């Protein structure tokens, strides 16, 4: 017997994260970071948002096509981007951050 959840709800909750990532959907809640409204390299928001630990990891993840912004792959960590309102940055399948412009 399950405590707190019915068996159906428990199974649905266990499947939810897998379905979310398998279907390529974005999570409802993700950390938000404010960046200046000027051109920056892809590597800078990755480090500022703590999606990667080092610049080397940022380069490696870009080379592996694991970095995307609004669904577009970013193979060059030195490519210049201009953060816009509500941009979504993703590293791998499970690390997300929403970028917004600093007021």
End-to-end Cα distance, the chain: 52
Show me where the domains of the chain are located.
27-101
Query: Tens of pLDDT along the chain (103 residues)?
Result: 444 555 665 555 555 555 555 556 777 778 888 888 888 899 999 998 899 999 999 999 999 999 999 999 999 999 998 877 778 999 998 899 988 888 7
| pLDDT for residue 29 | 79
The superfamily CATH assigns to domain 27-101 is RNA-binding S4 domain (3.10.290.10)
The DSSP-derived string for 28-70 is: S---EEEE-SS-EETHHHHHHTTSSSSHHHHHHHHHTT-EEET
Question: Alpha-carbon dihedral of residues 77, 78, 84, 88, nearest 10 degrees?
Answer: 0
pTM: 0.70
């Amino acid at each position: 017997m399950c405590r707190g959840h019915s068996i159906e709800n428990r199974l649905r909750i266990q499947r939810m994260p897998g379905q979310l990532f398998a279907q390529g959907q974005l999570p409802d809640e993700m950390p938000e970071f404010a960046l200046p409204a000027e051109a920056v390299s892809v590597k800078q928001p990755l480090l500022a948002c703590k999606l990667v630990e080092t610049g080397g990891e940022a380069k490696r993840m870009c080379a592996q096509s694991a970095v995307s912004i609004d669904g577009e792959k970013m193979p060059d960590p030195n490519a210049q981007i201009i953060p816009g309102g509500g941009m979504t940055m993703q590293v791998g399948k499970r690390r997300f951050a929403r970028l917004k412009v600093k007021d």
